[in-house]
Amino acid sequence: MTTRIIVKLDVKPPYVVKPVHFEGLRKIGTLCDLVKKYYEQGADELIYIDIVASLYQRDILFDQVEAAANEMFIPFAVGGGVKTINDFSKLFHAGADKVVINTFAVQEDPSIINQAAEIFGKQAVVVNIEAKKWDNYWECYSDCGRIRSGKRVLDWVTEVEQRGAGEIVLQSVDTDGRQRGFDIDLAKQVVEAVNIPVVIASGAGSLDDIKNLILQANPSGVAISSLLHYDKTTILEIKEYLLDNGIEVSL
Amino acid sequence: MKEKFGKYGLPLDVKFCTKCTMNNQRPSSTVEFTQKENEKKRTLAIAEDGICEACRYAEKKKLICWEDRHKQLEELCDKYRRNDGRYDVVVPGSGGKDSVQAAHILKYKYNMNPILITWPPAIYTDIGRRNFDAWLNAGFANYTYNQNKKLHRFLTRNAFLNLGHPFQPFILGQKNLAPRLSVLLDIPLVIFGENEAEYGNAIEDNEKPTRDPKYYSAELSIKDLILGGVPAEELMDKHGYKLSDLEAYFPVSPYEIQKTRTEVHYLGFYVKWHPQETYYYSVENSDFMPNDHVTEGSFSKYSSLDDKIDWLHYHTTTIKFGIGRATYDSAQEIRNGDITRDEGIALIKRFDGKFPQQYIGDCCAYMGISLQQYQDAIENFRSPHLWINRYGRWELKHPIWKSK
Amino acid sequence: MTNIIGLINYGIAGNIHSIKKAIEKAGGNVLIIEKPEDFNQVDKIVIPGVGSFKDAMFELEKNDLLESLKRCVLTKPTLGICLGMQILSTLGYEYGKTKGLDVINAEVKEIVVDAKVPHVGFNKIEVIKSNKLLEGVENKEFYFMHSYEVVNYTNISSLTEYCGHTFVSSIQKNNIYGVQFHPEKSREPGVRVFKNFIEI
């Protein structure tokens, strides 16, 4: 099975921004420009997270999602500020193919995962995790890597799988945006803990980082941001490098 | 005649800037070493058109030719640069993002040889200590003046109980240490991070690259000096503290400064200061880390992280002026185009003025008071025209989210 | 001659926007079907994915589309995508037993494989019985995201292998087509599939 090469877009509509450790709102470009850029570069999937919707306690900007979803024929996973089944439904009708949820599920009511899976099917319900290391465990954060939940990542991933989530996107507050490599230990433990696909994000600084992550943690997909936003490489270059190193990707 | 001013000389009529989230209760920087209780403060001016001086200045800043300013900094550095391998600029700080950027830029872009100097926080946070180490790890040496802790705690306690301003001892040293060390080390050039004028003090303060000497030097006799609301003479005669230790908090004598020809500049005049970009610079060029979670009382993770007393400081500004850390932070981010005013208001509503639960225990222990004593004392500083007690809970009479 | 593609709106579920965009990119005209009368205005039908078997059937019935759909599927060219293909079956086992449209004699059961489930990502199709729909895209990769599969051994047009497990990736019975993958999410090959469908 090919490993998906995914681009994660941290969105403060109408811009794509790139925080470091989930802090900072430096603008990278407009949403539509970047969606086009990465679709044409050959991304397998795009993840759009409105990183401030929960933090600012504001509604989802559906028109932004719709505008972004127009010229790209690859899967579009959309999240940020999702709280109700109606949010899920409106997002699917606005162009999302999967809906991503974190803050509301981990801080308020995890049963939304059960409800959503039953209506929309597991595979369309994705749980996003912002993991931060404390001593010898990782804790789940919310509201753009700011608020502790008191829940441990390894407990939470098992719980969301049982509740019916079909996929996990795992981010690390410790490594995100720093381009110094992934938290491979975290990645391995989570991939092994569940039987649903896990996409690992946060930390790609080089082609080797991506290769090593895949070889050591065996994720279903790798989500990349900074490396591509700052044009240090392209998706084609990443895929070719991985193929050269014996890793199956979709070209 | 109707009273127009309330406690601290604050205007009774609360007005909000129409561009940012700041309001007219915000005091300007004080000359700390003469501050007495119940002093009337100069506050942020909001013009007829509803725009505050800080926003006005931000607009003006857009017209600045930064190329010229860079050239001026280059000339300044050319003037003071030493080619014999010795330190040629004093950079004060504690490893926060501003001093990280200042040190790095001066060394790597302007080829200077900085010596870092630190007036340390009263109580280091974990993240503060880690970032201090990271600062030095980037390749710098540092002189830290570790205050007489017994004295520092005494001053902090007094400053809190008498003035509701536990941060005063820190501010005193922060402004005075660099010029003092400049004289001691015979390095005339001192360059600080941004000027506090950025935040809305008298705009005139920003027209010059140099810090106004009135903030750090004075030809004052001991008789005129007051620390923590207690006259210096009393500190010596009644409480037994020595001049040698107290001197650290006093302004430097202008004669000393003249001997070395010390000049205190602020980098914010020469380099466009955008706090978020400073954060990015720091993480891209050193091992600087943001907070481990949102900073209590605000929404951000990258500012003012190293002193536990800082958390109390913002609690006191909330009580006195109705302005908490989220208000300060959001106003700045709005001016820099990072967030909109509406977003700032939402953040203030959610985070501003939160009780400093995380460090209150440590801070009270430091000051030698109980939590109850803290709660009682702080009430002396609450401005009646800003607060109302509803069902045992204090609420702002005019919060920004209820203003038109 | 008109060639209007009717796209079923379940109500809550279904990634309507994506499919509409892809059909339009392929040169088609789309009408969203929300009430029984809408069926009269279309020449072909697309049944979307993104939903659960149980919920899809429930919503179709609730919105009064079930009977009309059952009839039109037999007379107008139809393309079922992912869940849309699955509900063409007799019975589904997702969140309990639910009757499907019963257009193909099959059941929909959970994928059993020694690998991650749901099956998510790009995977190849192997055409075993060529047809107009898959013309020009034999052996291409398409995007899959599903936890259930159609268990059927008579109307198969392509198979796909996932970690040692082979399953039905597309079917055809007369003018009824079903694809387990998402052509609207499969780049150019996917758009080509829609083009082929428009020209049927």
Taking the C-alpha atoms of residue B16 and residue B21, their distance in angstroms, rounded to an integer, is 7
ipTM at complex level: 0.96
Residue A133: closest C-alpha in chain B: B292
**For residue B48, how far is the Cα from the chain centroid?**
28
Chain A to chain B Cβ contacts (< 8 Å): 49
Taking the C-alpha atoms of residue C144 and residue C182, their distance in angstroms, rounded to an integer, is 6
Residue A251 lies in a domain: no
Judged by CB atoms closer than 8 Å, whether chains meet at A117 and C52 is answered as yes
Residue A249 lies in a domain: no
Residues 6+ apart with CB under 8 A from B153: B122, B366, B367, B368
Question: Which of B289, B294, B347 lies closest to A147 in CB terms?
Answer: B294
A148 neighbourhood in chain B, CB within 8 Å: 293
Number of structural domains chain A divides into: 1
Domain boundaries, chain C: 4-199
Q: Which amino acid is at A159?
A: E
Secondary-structure percent of chain C, ordered helix, strand, coil, rounded to 5 = 30, 30, 40
Domain housing A84: 4-244
- C184 is annotated as an active-site residue: yes
Preceding omega of A19 cis (within 30 degrees of 0):
no
Residue A214 lies in a domain: yes
What CATH number is attached to the domain comprising A231?
3.20.20.70
- Return per-residue pLDDT of chain B as tens, 404 residues: 456 888 888 999 999 999 999 999 998 766 666 666 666 778 898 999 999 998 998 898 889 999 999 999 999 999 999 999 999 999 999 999 999 999 999 999 999 999 999 999 999 999 999 999 999 999 999 999 999 999 999 999 999 999 999 999 998 888 889 999 999 999 999 999 765 554 444 445 556 677 666 666 666 677 788 899 999 999 999 999 999 999 899 888 888 888 889 999 989 889 988 999 999 999 999 999 999 999 999 999 999 999 999 999 999 999 999 999 999 999 999 999 999 999 999 999 999 999 999 999 999 999 999 999 999 999 999 999 999 999 999 999 999 999 87
Taking the C-alpha atoms of residue A102 and residue A119, their distance in angstroms, rounded to an integer, is 18
Taking the C-alpha atoms of residue A25 and residue A217, their distance in angstroms, rounded to an integer, is 30
CB-based burial label for B313 (10 Å; 0-12, 13-18, 19+): buried
**How far is the CA of A235 from the CAs of A225, A240, C7, in angstroms?**
11, 9, 33
Judged by CB atoms closer than 8 Å, whether chains meet at A146 and B294 is answered as yes
Residue A250 lies in a domain: no
Rounded to a whole number, what is the distance in Å from the CA of B292 to chain A's nearest CA? 8
Q: What fold characterizes domain C4-199? A: Rossmann fold (3.40.50)
Taking the C-alpha atoms of residue A65 and residue A51, their distance in angstroms, rounded to an integer, is 13
Specify the pTM.
0.94
Residue A159 lies in a domain: yes
* Residue ranges of A 126-165 with Cβ closer than 8 A to chain B: 132, 141, 143, 145-148
Residue A27: closest C-alpha in chain B: B338
Q: Are B314 and B34 in contact (CB under 8 A)?
A: no
CB-based burial label for A176 (10 Å; 0-12, 13-18, 19+): buried
C147 neighbourhood in chain A, CB within 8 Å: 121-123, 166
Judged by CB atoms closer than 8 Å, whether chains meet at C145 and A92 is answered as no
- C59 is annotated as an active-site residue: no
Taking the C-alpha atoms of residue A128 and residue A143, their distance in angstroms, rounded to an integer, is 11
